[in-house]
Structure 1
Amino acid sequence: MKKTKIALAVCITGAIALTACNDDGDADNDSGEEIANIDGTSMTEEEFTNELKNEFGPQLFNQMIQDTILREQAEELDIGEEEVDAELEDMREQMGAEDDEQLLDMLQMQLQVPVDSIDELKEDFLLPQVVIEELSTAEVDITEEDKEEYYDENEEELTEVEVRHILVEDEETAEEVLSELEDEMSFEDAVEEYSEDTASVPEGGNVGAFPQEGHQMDENFADAAFELDVGEVSNPVESQMGYHIIEVLERNETYEELEEEIESRLTQEHSKMPEEVLQELMEAADIEIMDSEYEDWLQEPGAVTM
C-alpha cells in the first residue's frame, strides 16, 4: 500500500506550484501591463495569465475544490498533528531519508513535488492523504476469521525473509569473500570492504524483507534466499548484477509473524480507491459555481490529471 500512498500524495500536491503562481502576483496590476519583451515582441500579464488559465485552468480549479473539501473533512474527522506526523515518519522510512532536509530534497528531485518546508509538506501534502486513507478504510472490518482463512490459502506466498548480502563483480571475488567469512571476518566488515551495492552498504548489506511470491528481487537471488535457514550464509549466487553472498537474518512464516501483513493486505483489498472517496465527497458537498464560465470545468476526480 505504501507505493500507492506516495503516488496519491504526488497527485494531491500536483497543483501546488500552479497555486503559487496565483498567489505571487499583485492583484492591482494592470492586466495589460508588459512583463517581458522578446526581441521587440511584447508579452503582457494578460497573455501570461490567459495562457496559464487555458493550459491548467480546469485541473487547478478542480484541485482547489477538492483541497477545500479535504480540509473540511480533516476537521470533521478531528485529524490532528499526531496523525500527520505519523504519516511523515512513514514517508521518511519509505523513501529512506535520514532527516527532513534529505526527505525534501528527495521529493523535489525524484518526484518533482514542489514543497520547500516540512510544514508545507504536512499541510498541503500529508493532511489530505491522511483524510483519504481514513475515509477509504472507514467501512473495512477485518475479522480474525478473515485473517486466518487468508493465511491458510496464501501461506507459501506470504512467507518472507529478511536478508543481507555482499555484491561483487565476479565469481572469483565472491569465493574470496566467502573464504574471508569462513576465516572469521565479520559480515559487516566484508560488506564494507567488498560490496558494490552502495545503497545497502550503510545498512550492513541489509536489503530488507521480501515475500516468496510477488517480490521484485532477481529470481536467482530470491530462490537462494528462501533455501537458507536463519543465520546461514549462501555460496556465491549469480544474478544480473553480479555475484552475491547472502545471509538470512529473519524468516517470517507463522500466522503470528505474518498477522500484521495479512491485515494490511486484506485492508487494502477491501478499501475504496482514492478516486471513489473523492467522488463521494464531491457528490456530498454543496458546490455552487457562481460564474457560468466555469460551469463546464467541474470534473469527476478520476478525470483530473496533473
Structure 2
Amino acid sequence: MASADKPHGAPQPAYLPTAGSILNADKGFYDSLASSKSRTLQQTINIPPRSAKAWKVPAGSIVRFSTPEGAQVGDLNIWNLANPRERFWASRTRQLQASHVTVYDRLWSCLPYLRPMVTIIADSLKDYGVDQWGGRCHDLLGTRCDPYVNTMLTGDQYDYHCHSNLTRAVVPYGLTEFDVHDVINIFQVTGLNAEGKYFMEPSPAKKSDYLEFFAEQDVLMALSACPGGDLSAWGWGEGGAGEEGEKKSMLDCCRPLRAEVYSLDDKSLLEGWKQFEPPKYTGIHGMKVPVGENV
C-alpha cells in the first residue's frame, strides 16, 4: 500500500497477543492466585532506606513488594537461580509487554533463554493509568542510578546508588557488578515529554501499597531502595530537582521497602501450570562451525 493510501490513526503495537500465545496470559489462572487466601509467609525481607538485599524465590511462589512507611521507589533485578546468565531483560519486556507494567504483564529473560521469569498478579496502583503529563507507574523506560554517571556529571563520589546497592547485595550469591543489569523501577512514575526526553515524577505510593509477582521459575531477586527516595526531591546529575525540590533533602524522602515470599498451600491452584521453556531455536546464526581437519 502506498504511503498516501495508508489509513490515518495510531500504529498498532508491534507484538499483539493472539489466542494461545505465550504473550496472552491466562487471566483466570493468575486471578485465582492473587485472590487465594491459601498462602503461607515463608520469608520477609526488609530493605532499609538507601540499601539493597537479595533473596531466593522458589518457582510457584508469590512475591509481594510493599511500601510499609509510604512512597519509595525500588530498583529490581532478577536472575535464574541456577543459571545467572539468564536474567531479566528490560528492553525486550518493554516491547513484548509495555513501557510500564501491571497485572498480567510478564518480565522476560535475556537471550538465548527468552521466557517469562515472573508474572504480575496484583497491583494496588493499577488504576493510576496515565497522568496529565503522560506519566505511568512501574517503569521500564529508565534504569538504575549509578555512581559513574553521577561522577561524570557532578564530580561527586557516592557509594549508595542503586547500582552499588545491588552490587553489594549479590556478592554473597557469587555474583559481581557485571551481573547487575537494567531494572524495573517499581512504584516509580516516568514518561517521555514532547521532545522525547525522559522524566520522573514523585511516587504515588501510599503506606502499604503493593505489587505481587508469581515466580515462573526459581529466581534470585535483588531490590534496592533508591537513594532518590520517593523522587519528590531527586537531584542526581545535571539539572536536579528544580526550585521546589531544593526545599528538602533527598534523605528526607527515603523510606524502606519490604518483600514477602509466600508459598501456596492449595497446590490445586497450580494444576496444569509448568515452567516455561526457552524457544527451540536450533540454528547457529548462519555460522559454519569447523568440526575438525578435513582429511
Instruction: Note whether the superposition's TM-score is higher than 0.5.
Output: no
Which is richer in strand?
2
Task: Tell which structure's C-alpha radius of gyration is larger.
Answer: 1
The alignment's TM-score, normalised by the length of structure 2, stands at 0.23
The alignment's TM-score, normalised by the length of structure 1, stands at 0.22
